[in-house]
Structure 1
Amino acid sequence: MRLGFLVDLSRCMGCMACAVACKAENDVPLHSWRLRVKYIDQGEFPDVKRHFVPLRCNHCENAPCERICPVGALHYLPNGIVNVDHNRCIGCASCMMACPYNAIYLDPVTNSADKCTYCAHRIEVGMMPACVVACPTHANIFGDLDDPESEISKYLKSHRDVMVRKPELGTKPKHFYVRGSTVALDPLASERPEGFTLFTEVKFLDHIGGH
């Protein structure tokens, strides 16, 4: 069994029900998130479209956070979920720096790393993740990637526009998107006016002595 997530971005309407349900179910601190919904505005007035993109841990098959953890607090469950053992975690934040998706935070109460676990505690008793239950449009699709009859497997098979975030890093995410915009998943894919420079690029050029 390999549990995975898929979001049909054509169904997501940005209601934030998934993010609120996640906060309530997992007692996530106010300043942190396990799941957030970002939006991207694309186009020029009056032809402007807003894209919504739910972001959570990708539960990568080649997870940098799991590899770098010095005490094994980040570990794989038999179903493929990358879980966090709060009793082992020493709060070193190595996993936070290693994660390319900015999906891990440090809980101020437990002083340990935390993130989306696909609601592993609910899955153990046969329930679906809280965000899946809360979604009014069924944009969040969750299931076993190894089961060809599961809804997520059928979705992946029937759609050619399957995308993941930062595939070039080789992390092999198990979190997929369909019917989405490349710009929504990759900020660098958007068109930039001639002469436009990102703030980070300016700082980098200053650092290396560029002009």
Structure 2
Amino acid sequence: MKLGFLVDLDLCMGCKGCEVACKVENKVPLHSWRLRVKYVDVGVYPETKRTYTPLRCNHCEDAPCERICPVSALHYLENGIVNIDKERCIGCAGCMMACPYGAIYMDPVTNTADKCTYCAHRIASEMMPACVVACPVEANIFGDLDDPTSHISQYIMQHQKDGGVQVRKPEKNTHPKHFYVGGGQVQLNPLAAKREEGYNLFNKITHLDHIGGH
């Protein structure tokens, strides 16, 4: 078994239900997150739209955080989840610096590292992660990547035909088990966002002030 996650960005409506459910289920501090929904605005006024991208731990097959941890607090479960043992963690923050996705935070109460674990405690009880249950449009898809008949495997196969399956930062060669379909490069690659030619905020403000003065 190899558990993985997929988000259909064409379905996600940015309600943040998954984010709230994650915080409640895992008692995440208010200023921290295991899962967050990033807003990305694209287009040029008046032809603009807001897109949404849920971000969480990618549970990489070659996870830098797991390799760098000096006390094996970060470790793989048999189902492929990169789990964290807060009893072993010494709070060195090496995993935070090693993670290319910014998915790990330091718990201010315990002074130990924490992150998304795909709700491993719920998986052990044969329940779905809290974020999957909370999503009103079923944009979050979770399941066994080794099972070709699972919903997530079928979803990936369906969208691979047109090259529509993406992962974050593939150049890092961490082999993420978190996939995205739909959307565009701008959602997953910050460098894909470009300032429109000729746009200058200072000149725009100056122009508006000039108009207001008349």
TM-score (norm 1): 0.91
> Which aligned pairs between 1:77-88 and structure 2 lie closer than 5 A?
77-88=77-88
2:136 is aligned to: 136
Output the CA distance in 2 between the equivalents of 1:163 and 1:41: 19
Identity among equivalent positions (%) equals: 73
- Mapped partners of 1:110, 1:72: distance in 2: 17
Q: Which residue of 2 aligns with 1:119?
A: 119
Query: Which residue of 1 is the match for residue 72 of structure 2?
Result: 72
1:190 to 193, 196, 213: 193
Q: Which amino acid aligns with 1:15?
A: C
3-state secondary structure, aligned to 2:50? strand
Counterpart residue type for residue 137 of structure 2 = T
> What CA distance in whole angstroms lies between the structure 2 residues aligned with 1:80 and 1:93?
22
Q: Aligned ranges for residues 156-167 of structure 1 at < 5 Å?
A: 156-159=156-159, 160-167=163-170
Q: What secondary structure is seen at the aligned counterpart in 1 of 2:165?
A: coil
Structure 2, gaps ≥5 residues long:
200-214
Larger Rg: 2
Q: How much has 1:109 moved relative to structure 2?
A: 1.2
**Deviation for aligned residue 1:49:** 1.3
Q: What is the rounded CA distance, in whole Å, between the counterparts of 2:111 and 2:41 in structure 1?
A: 36
2:206 is matched with none
From the superposition, tell whether residues 172 and 140 of structure 1 become closer, same or farther in structure 2 (CA, over 3 Å). same
User: Quick one: distance in 1 between partners of 2:45 and 2:197?
Assistant: 20
Match of 1:107 in 2: 107
- Could you tell me how far 1:191 is from its partner in structure 2? 2.3
Q: Deviations over 1:8-59 (max 9, x none)?
A: 0011000000000000000000110000000100011110011100000000
Q: In 2, distance between residues paired with 1:194 and 1:49?
A: 19
Question: Which position in structure 2 is the counterpart of 1:199?
Answer: none
Distance 2:62 2:49 in 1: 34
Quote the Cα distance in structure 1 between the aligned partners of 2:49 and 2:39.
10
Q: Specify the SS of the correspondent of 1:50.
A: strand
Q: Helix, strand or coil: the match of 1:110? A: coil
Q: Distance in 2 between matches of 1:134 and 1:150?
A: 20
Deviates most, 117-126 or 106-115: 106-115
Alignment partner, residue 91 of structure 2: 91
| Counterpart residue identity of residue 129, structure 1 | P
Residues 101-149 of structure 1: CA distance to partner in whole angstroms, max 9, x if unpaired?
0000011111110000000000001000000000000000000000000
Rounded to whole Å, the distance in 2 between the matches of 1:60 and 1:192 is 32
What RMSD, in angstroms, separates the aligned Cα atoms of the two structures?
Answer: 1.1
Equivalent in the alignment of 1:28: 28
- The code of the aligned residue for 1:121 comes to H
Q: Paired residues, what number?
A: 196
Query: How many Å separate the matches in 2 of 1:126 and 1:73?
Result: 24
Letter in 2 for 1:185: L
What is the CA distance between 1:176 and its match in structure 2?
0.3
Following TM superposition, by how much is the alpha carbon of 1:170 offset from its aligned partner in structure 2, in angstroms?
Answer: 0.2
**Match of residue 38 from structure 2:** 38
Compared with structure 1, are the counterparts of its residues 64 and 45 closer, same or farther at alpha carbon in structure 2 (3 Å cutoff)? Answer: same
Q: Could you state the TM-score of these two structures normalised by the residue count of structure 2?
A: 0.90
Corresponding residue for residue 145 of structure 1 = 145
**Secondary structure of 2:109 counterpart:** coil
Q: CA deviation at 1:192?
A: 3.1
